[in-house]
Amino acid sequence: MKAGATRQARAAGLVSPPLLWVLLFMIVPYLIMFTYSFYTKRFPTFVPDFQFGNYGTIFTDPQYYQILFRTFKIACLVAVAALTCAYPLAYFLVFRVRRPGARMILYMMVIAPLWISYLLRAYTWKTILGSEGVLNTFLVWTGILAEPTDIFLYNQFSMVVTLTYIFVPFMVMPIFTALEKIPPSMVEASKDLGVGPLRSFLFVTLPLSMPGVIAGLTFTFCLTFGDFIAAFLVGGPNGFMIANIVQSQFGAALNWPLGSALSIIMLVIVLSIISLSDRLERSGRLDLG
């Protein structure tokens, strides 16, 4: 009994520093923010209060709920676009590249951009899509366009392209891992039972790789949902996302209560997505052994 108590005390001693850290720098700030979301804005600052007006504003003022909806839409588009690019790539790496060495090098090439500054990668697209950019220069040079166009940059299209490019490694990684875990004998068994390659993929490989797909969708959706730098660089006025609004509420607009309420709503959406994906992954967790 006494030994057990000592062991418990030791265990508590071991985990308490990180717990304390999380408590001080995560839980407490969240609670503060949560409290602020009920405050009232009174020029030039705000006063403590308990009212739901901030939340009301978000759901009644089109300026807010439309951007919330737009952010949701862009996050969905990025997740789907990343899936469309990443799945064939991961499939190719796992099933078509025979030599393990070559496979690892190609995989590292997909991951390597993560070590390059986010800003730099987003900025790259500005130089590609801009009116003086690579794409325009090329189109004018080939004669497809008579003069440079500005339709490529500063809109939701450029947002989706840039964010897809930035977050696609987060889709490739889980799908690659999921596909790599599927024993080659699974597809062979399917073919052995008279099922052709396409349907073997649909009925065996795809369902077995679903945990990776769900994880990838969750990563890319949540990362996009909270992004605000891409909007600055390539988004333009129509590319503004919810995180940009939050930032301006805490900055220029000096409306911390509204910013807090927006943050809480974002937090709820992201946490819902994560717990949903966690549940899906759990129900689909398969013992491949």
Binding stretches for other proteins (CB under 8 A): 98, 183, 185-186, 188-197, 199-200, 203-204, 207-208, 284, 286-289
Question: Do residues 79 and 87 touch, judged by C-beta distance below 8 A?
Answer: no
Q: How far is the CB of 289 from other proteins (least distance, A)?
A: 8
Which of these, 29, 49, 24, lies nearest to 39 by C-alpha position?
Answer: 49
**Whose Cβ is closer to other proteins: residue 112's or residue 189's?**
189
Would you call the peptide bond into 44 cis, given omega within 30 degrees of 0 as the criterion?
yes
Question: Do residues 246 and 35 touch, judged by C-beta distance below 8 A?
Answer: no
Q: How far is the CB of 217 from other proteins (least distance, A)?
A: 19
Which of these, 203, 215, 208, 199, lies nearest to 180 by C-alpha position?
Answer: 208
Quickly tell me which residue has 């994880």 as its tokens: 215
Residue 40: strand, helix, or coil: strand
Quickly tell me which residue has 């605000």 as its tokens: 228
Q: How far is the CB of 182 from other proteins (least distance, A)?
A: 10
**Whose Cβ is closer to other proteins: residue 17's or residue 194's?**
194
**Whose Cβ is closer to other proteins: residue 147's or residue 287's?**
287
**Whose Cβ is closer to other proteins: residue 78's or residue 182's?**
182
Q: How far is the CB of 221 from other proteins (least distance, A)?
A: 24
**Nearby residues of 249 by Cβ (< 8 Å), 6 or more positions away:** 255, 256, 258, 259, 262
Residue 47: strand, helix, or coil: strand
Question: Do residues 234 and 122 touch, judged by C-beta distance below 8 A?
Answer: yes
How many C-beta neighbours within 10 Å does residue 166 have? Answer: 24
**Whose Cβ is closer to other proteins: residue 173's or residue 187's?**
187
**Whose Cβ is closer to other proteins: residue 142's or residue 185's?**
185
**Whose Cβ is closer to other proteins: residue 204's or residue 217's?**
204
Output the CA–CA distances (angstroms, integers) from residue 279 to 18, 85, 282, 285, in the order listed.
27, 25, 5, 10
Q: For residues 257 and 250, give the distance between their C-alpha atoms in angstroms, rounded to a whole number.
A: 9
